[in-house]
Chain A
Amino acid sequence: QQQVKQSPQSLIVQKGGISIINCAYENTAFDYFPWYQQFPGKGPALLIAIRPDVSEKKEGRFTISFNKSAKQFSLHIMDSQPGDSATYFCAARRDTGRRALTFGSGTRLQVQP
């Protein structure tokens, strides 16, 4: 049973467009929701993270929207650039007890010039 479901599996966006990746979770004990960005040949790297006490967090062109009641969160990449082409993973974790990250299945984003 996959606890964090991510969509779409792949996404093609034109340069300057908005990329949107969605995730849904089931475990209400999760209290930390990071997004990781992975380039080919590299490991995942933390991009941005949010906690459920806020509905939105923005860092530059990257924004997380969080809907606690719906148990959903999404990543928005504004003004998408070819350099944003990568695989994006949403994840969730508890602050107490089990500290492992539970990941979504990943979204391969391609930004066309």
Chain B
Amino acid sequence: EAGVTQFPSHSVIEKGQTVTLRCDPISGHDNLYWYRRVMGKEIKFLLHFVKESKQDESGMPNNRFLAERTGGTYSTLKVQPAELEDSGVYFCASSYLQGSGTDTQYFGPGTRLTVL
């Protein structure tokens, strides 16, 4: 079974440019999460999709970030315009909620974003 995949693995852009990150969850996983780790700090939650609906977007830092999950499959996270503080590793995770409340989140390898 394929794991969570993310594209690109690394992106270097200039301040003010736009970048779109993509995440393909494990097939059949309705839950999709985006997280971000800024250098040396904790991994922080950004938002949570259940199928195509945004369940929780309380972690989104500001309106320069836009996440979509059309059709409830893959998701994209767009940063427009990018700022220096957006640099970090963006992780996507997916899970299959089995009703008991416990669901293991499987993480992708991350996209390392560098804003110059």
Contacts and interface: CB of A to CB of B under 8 A. Distances in A.
Interface of A: 2, 4, 6, 32, 34, 36, 41-46, 89, 95-96, 98-106
Interface of B: 4, 31, 33, 35, 40-45, 48, 55-56, 58-59, 91, 93, 101-110
Interface residue SS majority, chain A: loop
A96 B48 CA distance: 14
A103 B44 CA distance: 7
B109 A42 contact: yes
Given A99-B48, A99-B103, 5 more contacts: A43-B110, A89-B43, A95-B102, A100-B56, A103-B35
Nearest to A6: B42
Nearest to A45: B107
Nearest to B44: A103
A37 to B, nearest CB: 11
B102 A32 contact: yes
A104 B42 CA distance: 5
In the A-B complex, the 10 residue pairs with the closest CB atoms: A43-B107, A95-B101, A100-B45, A103-B43, A105-B42, A103-B42, A44-B107, A43-B109, A43-B108, A46-B104
A96 B101 contact: yes
A4 B103 contact: no
A96 B110 CA distance: 27
Contacts of A45: 106-107
Contacts of B42: 2, 4, 6, 89, 103-106
Contacts of A44: 43, 91, 107
8 contacts: A32-B101, A44-B107, A46-B104, A99-B103, A100-B35, A101-B35, A101-B43, A101-B105
B41 A99 contact: no
Contacts of B108: 43
A95 B99 CA distance: 10
Nearest to B48: A100
Contacts of B31: 99
Contacts of A36: 107
A6 B41 CA distance: 11
